[in-house]
Amino acid sequence: MDPVVETPIGKPLIVQRDRTVLLDLHEPGAEEARGEISRFSELIKSPEHLHTYRITSLSLWNGAARGIDAPEVSSTLARWSRNLVPKEVMVWVCEALARTGRIRLVRRAERFGLETDPDTLATIMAVPSVSELVEQCADGFLALRDGMRGLVKRALVRVGYPVDDVAGFEEGDPLPVRLRTTDTEGRPFAVRDYQESAAQAFYAERSERGGAGIVVLPCGSGKTVVGIRAMALYGVQTLILTTNRSAVAQWKRELLARTHLTADQVGEYTGDTKEIRPVTVSTYQILTWRRSATSSFEHLELFSSNNWGLVIYDEVHLLPAPVFRVTADLQARRRLGLTATLVREDGREDEVFSLIGPCRYDLPWRNLEKRGFIAQARCIEVRVPFSRDERVTYEDSTRRERVRQSAENPAKLDVLHALLRRHKRDRVLVIGQYTDQLLDISRAIGAPLITGATPNDQREVLYGAFRRGLVPVLVVSKVANFAIDLPDANVAIQVSGMFGSRQEEAQRLGRVLRAKSDGSGALFYAVVTENSRDQEFSAHRQLFLAEQGYAYEIMDAAEVFATNPELTTDA
């Protein structure tokens, strides 16, 4: 008989030589271990019983920016691992973290340059993408060629050397920003403790490394307030970039409600309005607009139109490539990135790190949920079968065609009707990717539809009607993923998503995470076609939320149609 091998109780991790870390969800301490390892690793797979994390250079460097060092990584892994942590893993971790701070970007008189040790100098000068951006002076100073401050940081990150940029920033024109103690409607207002900590973590770096970094907080937790508090701490003219005109309007409302800034100090720079004021709010869309594929980006000059002391990048994980290029030249301005997730589906997290800054502050979503700052949420994946004919069509289709077919499975409509009957007393958002599908749903359930083609004025009317309870169900496309203030929305039903976008899943859950006045929770349904590309993409979309501690319950369509299923918003 084979000997019985006992698993150490409360040891949920298995650390592997390739720097992947397996988390056994059924072991005591799994949730606590998840919270600790997520500070320096990233989730890459999340099946029902065993999650897989990976330790990367970038995950370590972001951890280092928040004070994590090699001994802490070592002790965390040793404490939770049921096997001996492979020596080569910790050797690699120590080497990766030892590279932080090894290269400093400094300013001497009017020139920027790099300071490092001789061995590192020889290593980086052997890399063409780095050496072409610098020139070695007679005294050994490695001077940057003009305008290369951002590009050299990006090049060095890509070869494994994060730069400690202590060259400082232009002060920008002053603008005192005082916060109110009550909003414009007389309701008490105070910055929450975690919002203050986040703003101070960004501001505290002012001493030498100053004003460049990212704050990660969940949707509904008040990231806008963090940005406003940072503005008050610095007291300088500020450019705010965000995702769409609804977000511009929301930023303007918050600025006027939370501060003593006046309407003539806060400008909007969008397609219809071109105001440049001490605080100017614009969109990525207008900045990247051009007349043709060969034309220049006409509005990028907004970056140089004022002596900005601070640039705030809202939803920084969506930063488009043309703005990346400008940001590489904008290293003399303080930069604050706000986001619910650092995940980028194009793999350009290294550009966010090098050109905006490292993560200065983040807080697990579940932490804020437990304290009542965001709603408790249940996540449910409802698996819907194809009809026999639809399955035959699906199997005869190309891999590309299967994506759309499974996302628009007609059987989802019956499930949607059943869910809406269960939640007829709730405020429901039906969210999807494909306009044709959403049009059919809107007609079938008799609910208004908001897409990218909906005029902004009409969107605001519908959002207002939803807030007042006049419209209990809204059908929305991806335009509603960001910056819509619908605090009473407590049920979201996702009928289709953008392939495997983790950031989108987080944003869509975020639509129902605002704390409810009655303390009730929220429900997020992902309606997917079982055994299809739709289900595969759904599994990938759930990765980021799994890292935050959200587990998806699995329910099949038959359960939804059952007589009395308990589908409450109580988490």
Look up residue 105 and give its two tokens.
């970007």
Look up residue 561 and give its two tokens.
């149609």
Res 206: pLDDT: 52
Residue from 280, 285, 269, 287 nearest 310 by CA: 280
Burial class of residue 122, CB neighbours in 10 A (0-12, 13-18, 19+): exposed
Give the DSSP H or E segment for 134.
strand 134-136
Res 18: pLDDT: 95
Query: Is the CB of residue 429 less than 8 Å from the CB of residue 480?
Result: yes
**Are 193-363 and 369-560 in the same CATH fold?**
yes
Q: Residue 122: CB partners within 8 Å, gap ≥ 6?
A: none
Asked if the 193-363 domain carries CATH number 3.40.720.10, the reply is no
206 residue type, one letter: R
Res 500: pLDDT: 60
For residues 207 and 427, give the distance between their C-alpha atoms in angstroms, rounded to a whole number: 47
**DSSP character for 2?**
P
For residues 304 and 308, give the distance between their C-alpha atoms in angstroms, rounded to a whole number: 8
Residue from 148, 193, 537, 210 nearest 357 by CA: 210
Q: What is the pLDDT of residues 82-129, one digit of tens each?
A: 999 999 999 999 999 999 989 999 988 778 999 999 899 999 999 999
For residues 431 and 422, give the distance between their C-alpha atoms in angstroms, rounded to a whole number: 17
479 residue type, one letter: V
For residues 564 and 218, give the distance between their C-alpha atoms in angstroms, rounded to a whole number: 33
Residue from 482, 483, 459 nearest 471 by CA: 459
Helix (H/G/I), strand (E/B), else coil: 81: strand
Look up residue 26 and give its two tokens.
């059924």
Domain map (residue ranges) of the chain: 13-98, 103-165, 193-363, 369-560
Residue from 318, 269, 277 nearest 298 by CA: 269
Look up residue 57 and give its two tokens.
């250079």
Q: What is the pLDDT of residues 509-540, one digit of tens each?
A: 888 888 887 778 899 999 999 999 999 988 88
Encode the chain (571 residues) as per-residue pLDDT tens digits: 444 444 455 799 999 999 999 999 888 888 899 889 988 998 877 776 788 899 999 999 999 988 899 999 999 999 999 999 999 999 999 999 999 989 999 988 778 999 999 899 999 999 999 999 998 887 778 899 888 999 999 999 999 999 988 888 888 999 999 999 987 778 889 999 999 999 999 997 555 555 889 998 988 889 999 999 999 999 999 999 998 888 898 899 999 999 999 999 999 999 889 999 999 999 988 888 888 878 788 888 888 888 999 999 998 888 888 888 888 888 889 999 999 887 777 777 888 888 898 989 888 788 888 888 988 889 999 999 999 999 999 999 999 999 999 999 999 999 999 999 999 999 999 999 999 999 999 999 999 999 988 888 898 899 889 988 899 999 999 887 766 677 788 999 999 987 667 778 888 888 888 888 777 889 999 999 999 999 998 888 888 787 777 878 899 998 988 855 555 555 5
Strand ranges (DSSP E) for 443-502?
449-450, 473-476, 491-494
Look up residue 155 and give its two tokens.
């090049």
H, E, C per residue of 317-349: HHCCHHHHHHHHHCCCCEEEEEECCCCCCCCCH
**DSSP character for 96?**
H
CA distance from start to end of the chain: 46
Query: Is the CB of residue 242 less than 8 Å from the CB of residue 279?
Result: no
* Dihedral (Cα; 135, 139, 141, 143), 10-degree rounding: -40
Look up residue 121 and give its two tokens.
């100098």
H, E, C per residue of 273-302: CECCCCEEEEEHHHHCCCCCCCCCCHHHHH
Query: Is the CB of residue 217 less than 8 Å from the CB of residue 226?
Result: yes
308 φ, ψ (degrees, to nearest 5): -65, 135
Instruction: Select 369-560's CATH number: 1.10.1380.10, 3.30.2230.10, 3.40.50.2300, 3.40.50.300.
Output: 3.40.50.300
Q: Which residues pair with 45 in a beta bridge?
A: 52
